[in-house]
Every structure is written in C-alpha cells, then in structure tokens.
Amino acid sequence: MAKKRISLTQYLIEQQRQHGRIPAQLRLLIEVVARACKRISIGVNKGALGDVLGSAETENVQGEMQKKLDIIANEVLIEANEWGGHLAAMASEEMEGIYVVPNRFPQGEYLLLFDPLDGSSNIDVNVSIGTIFSVLKKTGNDEGVSESDFLQPGLQQAVAGYCVYGPQTMLVLTVGNGVAMFTLDREEGSWVLTHDGVQIPADTREFAINMSNLRHWAPPVRRYIDECLAGRDGPRGKDFNMRWIASMVADVHRILTRGGVFMYPWDRREPQKAGKLRLMYEANPMSFIVEQAGGAATNGRQRILELQPTTLHERVSVMLGSKNEVQRLSAYHAEAD
C-alpha cells in the first residue's frame, strides 16, 4: 500500500485541531505564501528560458543592485497576498516603505515581511536561492497601519518560514510548535510533508562564514574561527569542515539537516552597520526556525529574537545553529567585553 501523504493543508488543519495555533486567516496566509513560492519556483526553474536572469538595472533601498528575479518575486508575493483579506500590510527587502493592503480589499490583522529572493548573487550561477518570510500580528486596535506596527521583537512572530529553490523545492515552516519541511511535488502541484520535528544537533564540526572577510572581524569571531582552523591540534581538539553557499536559505537549510553554525557577523568594512543581514525579514524568521529546531541564534551579545527593532530595514550581526557552538560564541563575546 502506498505511504499516506500529508499535504500542507492537512498539516495546518491538524495543527489547529491539536494545538489551536492556526486560525483560518493564518492558514490562508500560509497557503497563499506557499502558492506564491510555487510560482517563484517555476520562474527560477525556467532561468534563461523565462528571461528571468540578469540585472534589472535598478537599486533597492539598501543601495544594492536588483536582479530581475528580486523584482519578479516581490511582485508575485504582493499580488498573491493583497486581496485575501488576511493581511493589513506587507514589508519587503525590495521596498523602502510598507505596502498597505489597498482599500478596495478587506484588511486583516496580520503583517507579512519577506526577503522575496534571498541569495541574489547566486541567481545567475544556478545555485540554490530562496524566499524568507515572517508573520506578525498587528497589536493595538487603532485604525490603519504604519511602519511602527511592524517593529516588534522576533519573539512575537506567529509564523516563520522559507522556501529553498534547490535540487528540490522545499518549504520549511514553524508555527511555534517545532519545524516541519515540505517538498514540492511538481506533477501534483502540492506541498508534501517530508520531515517533521526537525532537530539541529547541539554539537558540530562544520561552520559557515565568508572567510574572505577574516581580516575585518572582531576579536571574538576571529578567535572562534582560528580555533576551528587549528583543528585536532588546537584547543577544540577536533577538525572542522567549512561550507559557504552565500545564500542564507541554503546554508540554514544544511544546518537544519545536519547541524553546523552560520555566521554573518559585524565587520570593519562598514563599521557603522551592525552587520549585512537584515533583522526583520532575514535574521528573525531564521532565528525562530533555528530555535524551534533546538538550536540557538545570537548577535554575539543578545538573543536575536529578543532584539527590539527600531527601523524596518535594520541590520544585525548573526550567529546561529548548533546550540553549543552558538553558546561558545556568546561566551567569547562576553569574555572580550
């Protein structure tokens, strides 16, 4: 007899029945985001045949050149989400201000944030990329919605997830009750639950960091990596392996699958910036997922999920993954202070 398959819809309905975590509006939201990711995945797969590669010759609010796919993915997510009545507003890496649901549509109580296409530098080289998203609930009952409604610590997230467009397209999700992974069945067009209760091993011999920035790091990060590199003869007494895909989604996906630690720390290149990655739609959702899988996430000094955001696009230093390694990094920062 064929193995029983659990679809995303069934998973969400069962989560609601067993834990009361997914009211209908939230389920709609997750399903709509998942559908949008399916569309983005089709574009990603077509590549040059779909004329989606290359630069759009425009700059986003972060001063980064946008790729065609950055813009396409952003539009797909907005178009899919604006009419359902589940959202009050959206925010994206590719848009300076928030996108309030137009008043021709009903307004819901959720706020959706996303990095529509993460790992942009990998688009044109056929390496895994992804979409990251985070869901908050609008607090307060004042009319309308503004940027300040979004500025909630990551602990307030109702849902976080990402979709990785790799050899398989997978959706990884937490609704605050562990981490589940769904694989896209292209023939059927459905998301099928393929891993549940994902757990990151507490120890690891693998780290992910852009080593070309070594000379710019702060001493605690330098110390941590130096000790890993010293291998069996060094203070760690074991050899380490390194991986760096330069798509956070793909690096985090590997860590969820077999452990490891991912770092994009502050560095001296642009000292006024806290880091490269963005708190609200990259670090927060990934930290929520990693913690739900038994891992940890810090900026070196504070748990990322407890940080109070002050602006939509603020950046943060990120260290996440296997718990004992993240604790060690925090300890090295505390000692340096």
* Residues in contact with Mg ion by the rule CB under 5 A: 115, 118
Residues 63-102 that bind ligand AHM (CB under 6 A): 64, 93
The CA distance from 196 to 254, in Å, is 16
Cβ of residue 276: shortest distance to ligand AHM, in angstroms? Answer: 6
- Cβ proximity to ligand AHM: between 24 and 65 the closer is 65
Q: Which is nearer to ligand AHM, 108 or 130 (CB)?
A: 130
Backbone angles phi, psi at 315, to 5 degrees: -100, 165
Task: Provide the residue count of the chain.
Answer: 337
Q: Of the listed pieces 15-23, 235-243, 246-254, 300-308, which binds ligand AHM according to CB under 6 A?
A: 246-254
The phi and psi torsions of 8 (rounded to 5 degrees) equal -55, -45
> Counting contacts by CB under 6 A, is residue 248 touching ligand AHM?
yes
Among 118, 206, 267, 325, binds ligand AHM (CB under 6 A): 118
Of the candidates 210, 257, 308, 311, which one interacts with ligand AHM according to CB under 6 A?
210
Tokens of 245: 């895909």
Q: Which of 224, 264, 288, 332 binds ligand AHM (CB under 6 A)?
A: 264
> What, of Mg ion, ligand AHM, none, does residue 126 touch, CB below 5 to 8 Å by kind?
none
Integer Cα distance of 324 and 125 in angstroms? 34
Residue nearest to ligand AHM (CB): 248
- CA pair distance 115, 291, nearest whole angstrom: 20
**Residue ranges in 178-322 assigned as alpha helix (H):** 219-230, 248-258, 284-292
Q: Lay out the site mask for ligand AHM across 275-294 (x = CB under 6 A, - = otherwise).
A: -x------------------
Supply the minimum distance, in Å, between the C-beta of residue 3 and Mg ion: 35
Q: Measured from the CB atom, is 131 or 157 closer to ligand AHM?
A: 131
How many Cα atoms sit within 13 Å of 263 on the Cβ side?
27
- Closest Cα partner for 77 from 110, 46, 104, 117? 117
300 binds, among Mg ion, ligand AHM, none (CB under 5 to 8 A by kind): none
Q: Does 246 bind ligand AHM (CB under 6 A)?
A: yes
Q: What residues contact 141, with CB distance under 8 A and at least 6 apart?
A: none
Minimum gap (Å) between residue 93 Cβ and ligand AHM: 6
- Structure tokens that stand for 310 in this block: 């002050």
Q: The tokens 């397209």 sit on which residue?
A: 169
> For ligand AHM, how many residues bind (rule: CB under 6 A)?
13
Asked whether position 257 contacts ligand AHM by CB under 6 A, the answer is: no
Backbone angles phi, psi at 10, to 5 degrees: -65, -40
The helix (H) or strand (E) run that includes residue 320 is strand 318-321
Query: Is residue 154 within the footprint of ligand AHM (CB under 6 A)?
Result: no
83-107 burial code (b ≥16 CB/10 A, e <16): ebebbbbbbbbbbeebbebeeeeeb
Nearer to ligand AHM, 145 or 170 (CB): 170
Nearer to Mg ion, 26 or 72 (CB): 72
> Least separation, in Å, of the C-beta of 309 and ligand AHM?
17
Q: Which of 281, 13, 288 is CA-nearest to residue 174?
A: 288
Among 119, 154, 275, 295, binds ligand AHM (CB under 6 A): 119
Specify the DSSP element, H or E, that contains 38.
helix 24-46
Q: Which does 64 bind (CB under 5 to 8 A by kind): ligand AHM, Mg ion, none?
A: ligand AHM
Distance CA 221, CA 202 (A): 19
31 versus 314: smaller Cβ distance to ligand AHM: 314
Q: Which residues bind ligand AHM (CB under 6 A)?
A: 64, 93, 115, 118-121, 210, 246-248, 264, 276
